[in-house]
Amino acid sequence: MKIIISHDVDHINVTEHIFKDLILEKMFLRSMLGKIMGRISWKTCFRRMSMLFYKRMNRIEEVMMYDHQNKIPSTFFFGMSNGLGMSYSRQTAAEYIVKVVNNGFDVGVHGIEYMSQDKICDEHDAFKEVTGMTLFGVRNHYVRFDDETFYKMNRAGYLFDSTWFNKENIELKNPYKIGDMWEFPLHIMDVYVCEEGGLEDGMEKTYKIIDEADAMGIKYLTILFHDYQFDDVFAPDLKCWYMKTIEYCKRNKYEFISYRDAIKELDVESKLL
Ligand SMILES: [Zn+2]
């Protein structure tokens, strides 16, 4: 079994949220609740309550450094549209995309639209224009999809998608093709498997999924970590969850692979069949 790591870039700067969405307000409320329920420390609570004094919200540089040190060829998904608390501009995304590509990591679209064929094509084409790339992948924000979404993504020209996810139960499936597009089901998402204040339980669940996936013959296990949580004060449990998950994969000698290289392997394999 090989491991595919990816990062959804939901936030870039604090300012993009002011008067545009309720992300900061929700964060204030959640951090107060988290403190009252004993899930986060005072330090983390204050850090989140004082978000307005910080400019940067992403931790892309830090994640790239960590992934580089651990030889992880991860993929960063960037939004080309706004919605559901993702509010940065294409221009801001473009600046970070250059940095990520220059550091040798892959990039794809963090999609908003999942119903309208035209809007799905718009996001695809905007990314093509911003990056100059012709073939790339996508994962939808909040992993939203319906029965038609993947067919529409294929028609838009995506190389792969990694949105399919069972929100109710962990469900492990191997990659499959939809037209010319490869669908890589998402298996492990940080915030679904690990709650704040519940790191120990989160690790137990994560290790169990990894072991089960290997035992049942999953070829590529997909893991999503949101970069903005890679911070000792802002989200200590989730940062720790990511590092412990990576350490577990390394201890068990699993190889890390990018979506693109996995597709190369899958294409060779399907030609041999
Ligand atoms: Zn997202």
Q: Calculate how far, in angstroms, residue 78's C-alpha sits from the geometric centre of ligand 1.
A: 9
Distance between Cα 9 and ligand 1 center (Å): 6
Residue 159 has what pLDDT? 98
pLDDT, residue 109, reads 99
Of the candidates 1, 21, 12, the residue with the CA atom closest to the CA atom of residue 54: 12
Q: What is the pLDDT of residue 131?
A: 97
What tokens were used for 85? Answer: 């608390």
Which pLDDT value is given to residue 272?
84
Q: Is the pLDDT score of 183 beyond 90?
A: yes
Looking up tokens 């988290």, which residue turns up? 34
Q: State the fold for domain 2-10+56-272.
A: TIM Barrel (3.20.20)
Plot region of 132 (φ>0 → left; ψ -120 to 50 → alpha; else → beta): left
Please answer whether residues 273 and 13 qualify as being in contact, where contact means their C-beta atoms are separated by less than 8 angstroms.
no
What lies within 8 Å, CB to CB, of 48 at 6+ separation is 27, 28, 30, 31, 234
pLDDT category, 271, cuts 50, 70, 90? Answer: confident
Ligand 1 mean position, distance from CA 20 (Å): 16
Helix 90-102 and helix 117-131, axial crossing angle in degrees, nearest 10: 50
Q: For residue 254, which phi and psi values (nearest 5 degrees)?
A: -80, 140
Q: What value does the mean pLDDT take over residues 175-193?
A: 98
- Quote the ligand 1 centre to 15 CA distance (angstroms): 18
* C-alpha of residue 38 to centroid of ligand 1, in Å: 26
Distance 14 CA to ligand 1 centre (A): 16
Q: What is the DSSP letter of 15?
A: G
Whole-number Å distance, alpha carbon 8 to ligand 1 midpoint, is 5
Tell me the percentage of the chain whose pLDDT exceeds 90. Answer: 99
N- to C-terminal Cα separation, the chain: 20
> pLDDT at position 151, please?
98
Q: Which residues contact 227 (CB under 8 A, 6 or more apart)?
A: 7, 8, 9, 58, 59, 60, 62, 63, 76
pLDDT class of 270 with cuts at 50, 70, 90: confident
Q: Could you report the per-residue pLDDT of 37-47, keeping only the tens digit for each?
A: 999 999 999 99
Residue among 124, 122, 133, 216 at smallest CA distance from 161: 124
User: How does residue 160 score in pLDDT terms, banded at 50, 70 and 90?
Assistant: very high
pLDDT digits (tens, 9 = 90+) for 66-104: 999 999 999 999 999 999 999 999 999 999 999 999 999
What is the per-residue pLDDT for 41? Answer: 96
Distance 200 CA to ligand 1 centre (A): 25
Compute, in angstroms, the gap from residue 271 CA to the centroid of ligand 1. Answer: 34
Distance 268 CA to ligand 1 centre (A): 32
pLDDT in tens, 74-84: 999 999 999 99
pLDDT(176) > 90:
yes
What spacing in Å lies between the alpha carbon of 102 and ligand 1's midpoint?
23
Average pLDDT value for residue range 9-34: 95
* Number of residues written out for the chain: 273
* Digit-coded pLDDT (tens) for 211-258: 999 999 999 999 999 999 999 999 999 999 999 999 999 999 999 999
- Give the Cβ contact number of residue 257 at 10 Å: 19
Q: Helices (DSSP H) in 103-254: which residue ranges? A: 117-131, 149-156, 190-193, 199-215, 236-251
Binning pLDDT at 50, 70 and 90, where does residue 49 land? very high
